[in-house]
Amino acid sequence: MEKYSLRINNKVHEISAESEMPLLWAIRDLVGLKGTKFGCGQGLCGACTVLLDGSPIRSCSFQLSEVGDNATITTIEGLSDKGDHPVQQAWIKHVVPQCGYCQSGQILSAVALLGSNPTPSDEQIDTAMNGNICRCGTYNRIKEAIHTASISLK
Amino acid sequence: MFTKFLSRKQQDPENLSKVYIPSRREFLKIGSLATGGFLLGVNFQCSGPKGDPISFAPNAYLILDSDNQVTLIAHRSEMGTGIRTSLPMIIADELGADWAKVKIIQAEGDNEKYGDQNTDGSYSVRMFFEPMRQAGAIARLMLINAAAGKWEVDPSECRTEKGQVIHSDGKTADFGELIEELKNQEIPKSEDVKLKNLKDYKLIGKDVPIYDAKDIAIGKAVFGADVDIPGMQIAVIRRSPVIGAKVVSFSDEKALAISGVSRVIKIDGQGIPTGLDKALEGIAVLADNTWAAIQGRKALEVEWDLGPNQTYDSARQLEEMVKSTLTNGQIRREKGDFSNAQRKAKTVLERSFVAPYYAHATMEPPVAIANWKADFCEIWAPTQHPQWARTAVATALGIPEEQVRVNVTLLGGGFGRKSKPDFVVEAALLSKATEGPVRVQWTREDDIHHDFYHSLSAQRIKVTLDDEGKFSGWNHHTVFPAIGATSTPDELHPSDGELGLGCIDFPFEVPNIRIETHESRAHTRIGWLRSVSNIHHSFAVNGMLDEIAEARNMDPVDMLLDLLGEDRNISFEGEMKGTFGNYGEPIEKFPWNTGRLKNVIRRVAQEANWKESLAQGKNIGFAAHKSFLTYVACIVEVDKGANGELLIPNVHYVVDCGVPVNTDRIRSQFEGGAQFATSLATTSAISFENGQVQQNNFDGYQVIRMSQSPRNIHVHIMDSTEKPTGVGEPPVPPFIPALCNAVYKMTGKRIYELPIKI
């Protein structure tokens, strides 16, 4: 067992865990933040996406030992205080979710995309979002919501 | 889903789902709440197994409190269709509530209180539209009577709007102000309860955002795995790799050596048949976190007796199934004399269609939490069928149902998978064994390996054209392992229920029809997946119809309109060898109307500029299919991308689902249905070798990603005053053949096998 200080959503959480434990399980089981979802455990579906220093990572396939001491982690709960991040607002406006399970990961991938490319084209959205599976089939509304958020972020 | 598909125990209440006319007696329950609020319970009368009326405790609760909040209970499971919004919305609209002040709470599984809660078969809106309106209308009348009494005016001069009773002279009272008066109200007479006119609704027929949208967007929505109980152990289970395999011996030494692992417990499976609601044989590793449990499972050493399915090979079975379609099968529908039509035919077209097993692959893998304490088992689970979960848990634990409570979380997808309570039973067994709270967490590999799969299928359709080129005969052979075989292995033919999904309900005016089935055995657990056997039946039937149109040199849209004949109700009378299920509804109540299908066909052709687009050389395909009593027509356009990949630039759907309830959720179901069907048609397939599933995760069992999604999905909703019907499943069946027919336009090759290979 190793000790880790995880800075998640601007709060430091002290945990003890095996160094191989994926960040996902530390966030869900040890820290108790449940907004980050388990989908595949292999980095294939994106349900577990969180931001590590602003970049999207698949937390199910990212070991605690790789996180680094000064890294900042953002989960869906930390994206905004009142649920009013422009991407969250766009998601609500377009009523993107169906079952909703994949949407935390989708939203964080979208936030990362808009962080690096504030006005993405459809093709750029496809490329950035292709790692996030939605089984209900909300892809088109996700795309519309990203365009909407892109405008409001300007 | 249809009771016919369920285990025998579940089959008994044939009419479990028949909920229509509220009874007068025991109709209402009025109560005061400790908090000072007002509670109204409306009883939806259900008919019992023999049609006897059963009185249940009041089961649609509506709570008013003094700060004007209206609390409504959602008794159906939310898996993404929007039902948790759409049903309460009906009550609220009829009541005249302020939607912004409506709170929705989820009901636990309780047959006595809520009647049918099996959220499946696209029937929640169909079943509950009228009872929900009734509930709202009763509450509205009582509020009006209360206000009228207070004001000493005639109730007929009052109406409700936005959470207020309003008198014609302008006086208003908030609902919350009327609680004291309400408590003294008499139960209204049924003749006084009047429903609003459709045109007067403010929510029904409009785009209403889902209740949970914000919670989902901020990560606060609670799914199955998100429930936390202090001291809870997490279990991950190594299940029999082949259906029917039994544990010979196992060693837990290495698993227990892993930090965090606390116990290893064997779960006894019942072998073959597995049934639909039993745990599979397996070894569970319990730990204080999920990762440790996963690691512990890896370290297990298990010796299996793999049993009779260890040589099962799905490709070989499919070949045998295809061969069987060349022989005479069991006749399930017969009209005229197909053999005679064949003898006289000028042209005979004969085609074979095959489709693979499919897994549900809900984004949330199965998960359930059980807390056994003092002979009582409390469950939290993402279940489509909380009552079945309750029964199955009670049976597995050997306790009465009253000692089981099933709380329903949001479902991270369902598609039929989460009707089956096997994963809930696992959690209950382990919680009882450890006398503490347990979460059973399935990994994605568990989900892909141990699903209740959509059956693989083989079909052969033989069509005859007479001297004049007229369509004279239709002979459809279908063979697929039946859902029933999961409980009763000797059920070798598909059930009437499964055939009523796009096969024996072939609605076209062809003088000679023969529909036959053949034997096949189930070697895995077979279940139902979004639209069930409509998936493969519509693929074959609509693919064949397109080919017939071509052979007859006809436009396929024109041909279908012609084949549907006059606008009329059809009944298939005297033609069925078994029962025509009509999705559990009497055909008099929900007739098969050719005019409604023709209308959606005409409209889709118009919306997609069918003829002009064909003339322009666009690669478009068409199909129409009625399922779950909803009429749908679809036109799909395809193109080839720069790297030869399949692109789907446009989809047009027209749907007639009766009165549209929540138009935004109708559209979202069709948008999602097109994407779901694109996966089935182009990327997904499960196969077995040596009795074991060959795919493991989303790398092997692929579902479409954003770049593969249809681009523009146009959903056109017919205005209708017919009884509303569901939209969860109906988008899937017509899409697949419309796509195949479009691909044919592009490549010149007909699609006879799914998934499509380009």
Q: Which residue of B has its CA nearest to A29?
A: B289
Q: Is the CB of residue B299 less than 8 Å away from at least one CB of chain A? A: no
Determine the Cα–Cα distance for residues B512 and B210; give it in Å rounded to an integer. 48
For residues A59, A63, A68, A70, the Cα torsion angle rounded to the nearest 10 degrees is 40
Q: Is residue A90 located within the same domain as residue A73? A: no
Q: Which residue of A has its CA nearest to B231?
A: A29
- Whether B475 and B361 have beta carbons less than 8 Å apart is answered as no
Q: Would you identify the CATH topology of the domain B224-308+366-441?
A: Aldehyde Oxidoreductase; domain 4 (3.30.365)
Question: Of A25, A34, A30, A61, whose CA–CA distance to A46 is shortest?
Answer: A61
- Smallest Cβ–Cβ distance between B412 and the set A99, A131, A140 belongs to A99
| Model-level ipTM above the cut of 0.95 | yes
Q: Cα distance from A15 to chain B (closest Cα, Å)?
A: 13
Q: Cα distance from B643 to chain A (closest Cα, Å)?
A: 14
Q: Is the CB of residue B642 less than 8 Å away from at least one CB of chain A? A: no
Q: Is the CB of residue A136 less than 8 Å away from at least one CB of chain B? A: yes
Tokens of B301: 């050493």
Which ranges of chain B have pLDDT less than 70?
1-38, 42-60
Tokens of B271: 């072998």
Q: Which whole-number Å values give the CA distances from B749 to B455, B740, B753, B755, in the listed order?
A: 25, 9, 11, 14
Chain A, chain B: beta-carbon pairs less than 8 Å apart: 192
Determine the Cα–Cα distance for residues B338 and B86; give it in Å rounded to an integer. 46
Q: Please name the residues between 541 and 570 in chain B that touch chain A, using a CB distance below 8 Å.
A: none
Q: At which of A78, A111, A134 does a domain end?
A: A78
Q: Is the CB of residue B727 less than 8 Å away from at least one CB of chain A? A: no
Q: Are B363 and A129 inside 8 Å of each other by CB? A: no
Q: Tell me the residue length of chain A.
A: 154
Q: Is residue A73 located within the same domain as residue A96? A: no
Q: Is the CB of residue A141 less than 8 Å away from at least one CB of chain B? A: yes
Q: Is the CB of residue B186 less than 8 Å away from at least one CB of chain A? A: no
Q: Is the CB of residue A140 less than 8 Å away from at least one CB of chain B? A: yes
Q: Kindly calculate the radius of gyration of chain B based on its CA atoms and give it in whole angstroms.
A: 27
Tally of domains in chain A: 2
Question: Of B594, B616, B577, whose CA–CA distance to B509 is shortest?
Answer: B594
Other CB atoms within 10 A of residue A86 CB:
18
Domain that holds residue A97: 86-153
Which ranges of chain A have pLDDT less than 50?
none
Q: Is residue A91 located within the same domain as residue A139? A: yes
For residues B571, B574, B579, B585, the Cα torsion angle rounded to the nearest 10 degrees is 20
Residue B35: the pLDDT is 52
- Whether B226 and B441 have beta carbons less than 8 Å apart is answered as no
CATH 3.30.365.10 fits B314-359+452-747, yes or no: yes
Q: Cα distance from A129 to chain B (closest Cα, Å)?
A: 7
Q: Is the CB of residue A108 less than 8 Å away from at least one CB of chain B? A: no
Tokens of B133: 């309106």
Diameter over CA atoms, chain B: 82
Determine the Cα–Cα distance for residues B99 and B102; give it in Å rounded to an integer. 5
Domain B3-217, CATH:
3.30.365.10
Q: Is residue A92 located within the same domain as residue A149? A: yes
- Smallest Cβ–Cβ distance between B444 and the set A40, A127, A137 belongs to A40
> Which residues of chain A neighbour B713 with C-beta distances below 8 Å?
140
> Which residues of chain B neighbour A50 with C-beta distances below 8 Å?
none
Residue B534: the pLDDT is 98
Q: Which residue of B has its CA nearest to A44?
A: B698
- Whether B550 and B577 have beta carbons less than 8 Å apart is answered as no
- Whether B531 and B501 have beta carbons less than 8 Å apart is answered as yes
Best interface-test mutation with A: which of B211, B218, B383 has the largest number of A CBs within 10 A? B218
- Smallest Cβ–Cβ distance between A129 and the set B289, B412, B706 belongs to B706
Determine the Cα–Cα distance for residues B122 and B419; give it in Å rounded to an integer. 13
> Which residues of chain A neighbour B298 with C-beta distances below 8 Å?
none
Q: At which of A25, A45, A78 does a domain end?
A: A78
Q: Cα distance from B13 to chain A (closest Cα, Å)?
A: 30
Q: Are A142 and B706 inside 8 Å of each other by CB? A: yes
Q: Cα distance from A74 to chain B (closest Cα, Å)?
A: 12
- Smallest Cβ–Cβ distance between A22 and the set B225, B291, B703 belongs to B291
> Which residues of chain A neighbour B674 with C-beta distances below 8 Å?
137
pLDDT (tens digit per residue) in B532-558? 999 999 999 999 999 999 999 999 999
Residue B42: the pLDDT is 65
Determine the Cα–Cα distance for residues B306 and B589; give it in Å rounded to an integer. 49
H or E stretch including B713?
A: strand B712-717
- Smallest Cβ–Cβ distance between B707 and the set A33, A41, A130 belongs to A130
Determine the Cα–Cα distance for residues B702 and B694; give it in Å rounded to an integer. 13
Q: Is residue A69 located within the same domain as residue A130? A: no
Q: Is residue A10 located within the same domain as residue A72? A: yes
Determine the Cα–Cα distance for residues A27 and B223; give it in Å rounded to an integer. 16
Q: Is the CB of residue A72 less than 8 Å away from at least one CB of chain B? A: no
- Residue in the block written with tokens 């009593």: B629
Residue B477: the pLDDT is 98
Q: Is residue A135 located within the same domain as residue A102? A: yes
Determine the Cα–Cα distance for residues B614 and A144; give it in Å rounded to an integer. 29
Q: Cα distance from B138 to chain A (closest Cα, Å)?
A: 31
Output the domain CATH number for residue A117: 1.10.150.120
> Which residues of chain A neighbour B209 with C-beta distances below 8 Å?
92, 95
**Which residue ranges does chain B devote to CATH 3.30.365.10?**
3-217, 224-308+366-441, 314-359+452-747
Residue B666: the pLDDT is 98
Q: Are B672 and A137 inside 8 Å of each other by CB? A: yes
Determine the Cα–Cα distance for residues B323 and B724; give it in Å rounded to an integer. 42
Q: Cα distance from A70 to chain B (closest Cα, Å)?
A: 24
Q: At which of A43, A78, A113 does a domain end?
A: A78
Q: Is residue A70 located within the same domain as residue A18? A: yes
H or E stretch including B215?
A: helix B213-217
Q: Are A28 and B290 inside 8 Å of each other by CB? A: yes
